[in-house]
Structure formats: structure tokens, C-alpha cells
């Protein structure tokens, strides 16, 4: 227990440049205070003491604005930055050295019993306002962007952004957990790709129309035909089918797969 509390205290200095001295951290960091309350409440909860653990959790929520159910399992070195509005459910498991920002919900779905809250691996970063809902498995070194809603399991070494959360693989890329500005914008990438495809199809259409005009002009008018010289003859070719684009774009496919579409 003492080792865990020491890790909770030291991680703040590693991840928050505003932390200047230990007195300031002890009395002015609600994330640390909420964890201290939770460690006590969780121990009492595990030994089967009724009511008291929930009262401690409720008191902690009143003081810090952070609600952690006594049944939740939280590893060492977890940093809840700012923390207002954070909700961690009863069966949630938070791995070591996770970073959780304000407004995060690690919640359940429905009224099922048993394990109904997410499990976070080690070194997971959950951005402000993100929601991770259900009995999900979030791998190690995962970064969840601010405002994302995660409804499916996420493998290790990935970044998740958007609503619903889209999985973007970043294996082998070491990133600073505090650099939220480096998160990719999957919507912008897909929209840009679609616009490029539309432009390419328009160019192909224009080229085919020019070829069609040249072909029609070169077709001789049959003798005795009622078609005048200035009129075009009807072509029976299936140009619409020839214009079908079968290019598999990786960015679009990952966008649709990540959204569950």
C-alpha cells in the first residue's frame, strides 16, 4: 500500500509541469485526494464492510468532484488530472500509470450483473470528456482522444478518436502522453480522400464524354436513314458500368471498420 501511494504521489511531478512542491500536490490536487480516499474505501470494500466504503466514496465525490466506486480496482501511479466529473464504475479496472483527464466516464451499459465496466491496460491515456462504456478490454499504451466514445475493444499501441471511437494503429511510434495535439483527424483524412476520388471520377467522366462525341461524329449515317447529319446516333455501350471505381482506399476502409459501419 505504501509503495502504491508513493507511486501515486511521484507520478504527478512527472506528468504535470504545474506541480512545484509536495504541499501544493497534497492539498491542491483532487485527483490525488480522490485516490487516497479510494484506497481506503477499496480496502474496506474488499474485507466486506457494508455501507462505510460507499460513504467514503460519496464524501470523496463531494470534496473532489471525482466519483470512484469502492469496488473499482486501480493500479499504482495512476494520475487523474484536474478530475472534475470523472466517473469510474464498480467493476472497472485501471492499470498502472494510466492518465485520466476531467470528464472521463468508465461506465457500464444496461443493468447486467457481473463484469460490466471497462478494463484499462498500463500507460493508457484517456482524454478529457472521453467515454469508455461496457465490459471492454483496452490494451497497453492506448491513447483515447478527448470527447471520444469507445464501444469496442481496443488492442495495444493504438490511438482511438471520434464518435464512435475509431481505431488508428500507431505501433512502433513512441509519443508523449501529454501531446494531445498530435492526435490524427480520421474524419478529415477520409473527407479529403473522398474529394480526391470525386475529382478523379469527374476527370474520367469528362474524358469519356469527349471520346463519345468523337466516336459519334465518325459513325457514318446509313443510307435512307431518317437520322439527319447533325444528329447523334444512340450508342448501346454501358458506359455507367465502365465508370465503376474499384480502388480500395485504405484510409476509407479503416475509417468504416473502426466505426463499426
Which of 165, 182, 199 is the last residue before a domain boundary? Answer: 182
Number of structural domains found in the chain: 2
Measured torsion, CA atoms of residues 124, 62, 82, 186, in degrees rounded to the nearest 10: 50
CATH number at residue 144: 2.160.10.10
Cβ atoms of 186 and 166 within 8 Å: the answer is yes
Rounded distance between C-alpha atoms, residue 40 and residue 50, angstroms: 14
Looking at the fold, whether 16 and 137 belong to one and the same domain comes out as yes
Cβ atoms of 151 and 168 within 8 Å: the answer is no
Which of 182, 199, 224 is the last residue before a domain boundary? Answer: 182
Task: Please give the residue range of the domain that contains residue 234.
Answer: 186-259
Which of 122, 147, 182 is the last residue before a domain boundary? Answer: 182
Show the beta-strand stretches assigned E in 16-165: 67-68, 73-74, 79-80, 87-88, 93-94, 99-100, 105-107, 119-120, 125-126, 131-133, 137-138, 143-144, 149-150, 158-161
Looking at the fold, whether 68 and 81 belong to one and the same domain comes out as yes
To the question of pTM greater than 0.75 for the whole model, the response is no
Model confidence at 4, pLDDT cuts 50, 70, 90, reads confident
pLDDT digits (tens, 9 = 90+) for 6-57: 888 888 888 888 888 888 888 889 999 999 999 999 999 999 998 999 999 9
Looking at the fold, whether 72 and 99 belong to one and the same domain comes out as yes
Amino acid at each position: 500500500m505504501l509503495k502504491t501511494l508513493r507511486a501515486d504521489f511521484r507520478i504527478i511531478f512527472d506528468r504535470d509541469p504545474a506541480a512545484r512542491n509536495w504541499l501544493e500536490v497534497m492539498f491542491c490536487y483532487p485527483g490525488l485526494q480522490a485516490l487516497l480516499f479510494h484506497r481506503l474505501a477499496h480496502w474496506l470494500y474488499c474485507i466486506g464492510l457494508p455501507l462505510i466504503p460507499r460513504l467514503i466514496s460519496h464524501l470523496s465525490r463531494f470534496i473532489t468532484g471525482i466519483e470512484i466506486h469502492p469496488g473499482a480496482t486501480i493500479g499504482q501511479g495512476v494520475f487523474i488530472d484536474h478530475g472534475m466529473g470523472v466517473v469510474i464504475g464498480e467493476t472497472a479496472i485501471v492499470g498502472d500509470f494510466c492518465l485520466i483527464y476531467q470528464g472521463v466516464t468508465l461506465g457500464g451499459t444496461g443493468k447486467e450483473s457481473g463484469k460490466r465496466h471497462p478494463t484499462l491496460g498500463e500507460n493508457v491515456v484517456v482524454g478529457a470528456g472521453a467515454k469508455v462504456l461496457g465490459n471492454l478490454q483496452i490494451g497497453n499504451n492506448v491513447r483515447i482522444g478527448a470527447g471520444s466514445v469507445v464501444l469496442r475493444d481496443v488492442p495495444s499501441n493504438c490511438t482511438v478518436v471520434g464518435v464512435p471511437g475509431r481505431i488508428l494503429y500507431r505501433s512502433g511510434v513512441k509519443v508523449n502522453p501529454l501531446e494531445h495535439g498530435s492526435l490524427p483527424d480520421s474524419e478529415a483524412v477520409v473527407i479529403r480522400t473522398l474529394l480526391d476520388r470525386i475529382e478523379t471520377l469527374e476527370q474520367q467522366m469528362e474524358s469519356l464524354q469527349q471520346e463519345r462525341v468523337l466516336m459519334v461524329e465518325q459513325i457514318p449515317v446509313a443510307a435512307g436513314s431518317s437520322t439527319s447529319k447533325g444528329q447523334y446516333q444512340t450508342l448501346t455501350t454501358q458506359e455507367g458500368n465502365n465508370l465503376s471505381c474499384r480502388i480500395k482506399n485504405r484510409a476509407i476502409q479503416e475509417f468504416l471498420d473502426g466505426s463499426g459501419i
